[in-house]
Structure formats: C-alpha cells, structure tokens
C-alpha cells in the first residue's frame, strides 16, 4: 500500500510539474532537452516526423516530435490555433500534448547549381511520455488502456491538401495502408486503415503477427475474414447475449470496411462512430 501511494503521489507531482510548462515554447528549448535532436535520443520515426526523448532540467522525461519538412504545415496562425485546440483535448486514450513550437529558421539549399538561403519551418510538438511505448504492449495488458499519439495531426494539412507523398516510409508493421507502402501516399484514409486493423485485433483478440513481407497485415486480415464467421463468433463469445453478439459482429464488419484495399471505399470517422452507436448508413 505504501508503494502504491508513493507511485500515485509521484505521478501527481509529475503531472503538476508538466502543467507548469509554457504552451508555446522556443525551438532552443526543444533543442536543449533533446541534446540537439541527437540520434541517440530518437525513439522512432514516422511519415509525419521523428520522436525524441526530451529530458527537462528537473529530470522529468517528455516525448518531443519534430515534424517532417514535407508536411506543408499551414501558414499564419492556423498551426498555432490547431495546436492550442489539441492542448485542451483530455481523454485517457489520447497521449496528452503539453506544448508546441513553430519557428522559421534559415537554411542553405542547392537550387539550379547554386546555393541559396531559404526560410524553413521548424515545427515541434511536445507530448507526455508514455513509458510502455508500444501499442501492442498496451493491448496485451489486463486493463487495456491504449494511448493514441498524433491525435488530430491530420488537421495540420492545408484545406486544399487531401494527401501528400513521402519517400521515407516508416511505421508499425502490420498497420500500414497499402497505398502508403507502395506509393508513399499519406491521407486520412491511411489512418482509417490502421484503425481498422486495430478494431479487428481488439475484437477477435488475435494478434496481428506480420513480417517484413506483409507490412499491411493482409495475410492476417484474410485469415480473420475466413475464420470469423457468424458461427465462429457465437462459439468464441458464448457468454454474450444476442445484442452483444451483434455488437461484436458489427465491430468486425466495421474493421473489414476500414481495411478495404481501395481507399475510396473506407468509411469516414463519422460513419464509423455512427455504426458503433448502432446507426446504419442511409
């Protein structure tokens, strides 16, 4: 009991200290706490940017994400406004955004065999540190309280920009959309694909164990589609009544729609939420 109380007090103190951080911070602050965005501090990389371990002067650990240069962040105050909105998002399944930075720096680039000086947007987001890190580890816990990072990040796209392309394909194997892997194409439909795999994995309780040849998890999806018939669902969830069995079937059906190879056939978040609430598409 003493140990539990100490851990609880420590977590409360850490939360209290983190809440005192200014919300809009200079680039120099993030450069300092990541040792100059050192390679030794890299946690992981994605199409949206690179995560670094940040250590504050008081020893507290945070997660710092430096956004990729090709993200084409919207100009003016739109980035600041969106980041500020994300700061107030409070949910147990969302990794909390603690602060942010957008700063224009000068960079020398080569253009037409000449070196020129251009403006470069440096955009950084600072998140709470999630010790367990991997979503897969959270899905294996008894309490199952996964944390979603990059929540709302797609809102940083320009309104005219529905997708972008990258040559630096990186992500969690088994959850990456085919168009992202094959063409480096990034859009909101990529997120829907990843969500679909998660819904299937959580509902069936079967792990998506893929390899380098199946980074989209297509073999896993095909296996579930073959096995998880209505009869199989009934056998696996014998303790559930008819209404809850129908909910399980609906979740699996939603998951399959989300992982459609044709990204245009994937449902929107509104459609997914409506289905989860029992509403049928008109």
CATH number for the domain harbouring residue 110: 3.30.200.20
Residues 129 and 189 in one domain: no
Q: Categorize the per-residue pLDDT at 262 as very low, low, confident or very high, splitting at 50, 70 and 90.
A: very high
Q: What are φ and ψ of residue 167, in 5° steps?
A: -95, -5
Q: Would you tell me how many other CB atoms lie within 10 Å of the CB of residue 96?
A: 20
Nearest to 102 by CA among 128, 75, 127: 75
User: Does residue 205 sit in the same domain as residue 86?
Assistant: no
Q: Tell me the C-alpha distance between 117 and 119, whole Å.
A: 7
- Over residues 28-56, mean pLDDT: 89
DSSP tally for the chain: helices H, then strands E: 10, 7
C-alpha 175/C-alpha 216 separation (Å) is: 5
Residues 221 and 268 in one domain: yes
**Boundary-marking domain end, from 89, 117, 134:** 134
Domain end, chosen from 88, 118, 134, is at 134
In this prediction the pTM is 0.59
User: Is position 150 within any domain?
Assistant: no
* Range of the structural domain that residue 91 is part of: 1-134
- According to DSSP H, which parts of 130-212 are helical? 135-139, 178-183, 188-204
Q: The domain spanning residue 270 has which CATH number?
A: 1.10.510.10
Instruction: Confirm whether 213 is domain-assigned.
Output: yes
Looking at every residue in the chain, the average pLDDT score rounds to 77
Query: What residue has token string 């509403």?
Result: 279
146 lies in some domain = no
Q: Picking from 5-14, 76-85, 162-171, 253-262, which range would have the lowest pLDDT averaged per residue?
A: 5-14
Q: Is the pLDDT of residue 98 over 70?
A: yes
For 278, the token pair is 């029992």
Pick the range with the lowest mean pLDDT from 45-49, 179-183, 198-202, 221-225.
45-49
| 37 inside domain | yes
Considering its fold, how many domains does the chain have in total? 2
Cα–Cα dist 205/176, whole Å: 19
Last residue of a domain, one of 98, 114, 134: 134
Q: Predicted confidence band at 54 (pLDDT cuts at 50, 70, 90)?
A: very high
Asked if the structure places residue 148 within a domain, the reply is: no
Residues 268 and 218 in one domain: yes
Contact 70, 156 (CB under 8 A): no
Beta-strand ranges (E) seen in the chain are: 42-46, 49-55, 61-67, 97-111, 114-128, 163-165, 185-187
């Amino acid at each position: 009991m003493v140990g539990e109380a100490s851990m609880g007090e420590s977590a409360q103190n850490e939360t209290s200290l983190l809440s005192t951080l200014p919300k809009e911070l200079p680039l120099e602050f993030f450069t300092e706490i990541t040792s100059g965005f050192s390679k030794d501090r890299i946690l992981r990389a994605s199409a949206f940017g690179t995560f670094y371990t940040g250590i504050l002067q008081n020893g507290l650990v945070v997660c710092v994400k430096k956004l990729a240069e090709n993200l084409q962040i919207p100009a003016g105050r739109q980035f600041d406004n969106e980041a500020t909105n994300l700061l107030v998002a409070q949910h147990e399944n969302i990794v909390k955004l603690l602060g942010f930075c957008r700063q224009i720096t000068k960079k020398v680039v080569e253009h037409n065999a000449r070196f020129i000086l251009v403006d470069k947007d440096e955009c950084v987001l600072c998140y709470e540190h999630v010790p367990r890190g991997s979503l897969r580890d959270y899905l294996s816990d008894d309490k199952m309280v996964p944390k979603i990072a990059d929540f709302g990040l797609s809102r940083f796209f320009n309104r005219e920009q529905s997708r972008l392309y990258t040559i630096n394909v990186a992500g969690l194997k088994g959850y990456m959309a085919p168009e992202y892997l094959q063409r480096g194409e990034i859009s909101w439909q990529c997120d829907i694909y990843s969500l679909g795999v998660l819904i299937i994995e959580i509902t069936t309780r079967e792990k998506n164990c893929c390899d380098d040849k199946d980074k989209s998890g297509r073999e896993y999806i095909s296996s579930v589609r073959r096995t998880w018939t209505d009869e199989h669902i009934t056998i696996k969830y014998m303790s559930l009544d008819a209404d809850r069995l129908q909910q399980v079937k609906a979740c699996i059906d939603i998951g399959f729609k989300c992982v459609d190879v044709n990204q245009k056939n994937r449902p929107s978040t509104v459609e997914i939420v409506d289905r989860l609430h029992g509403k049928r598409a008109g």
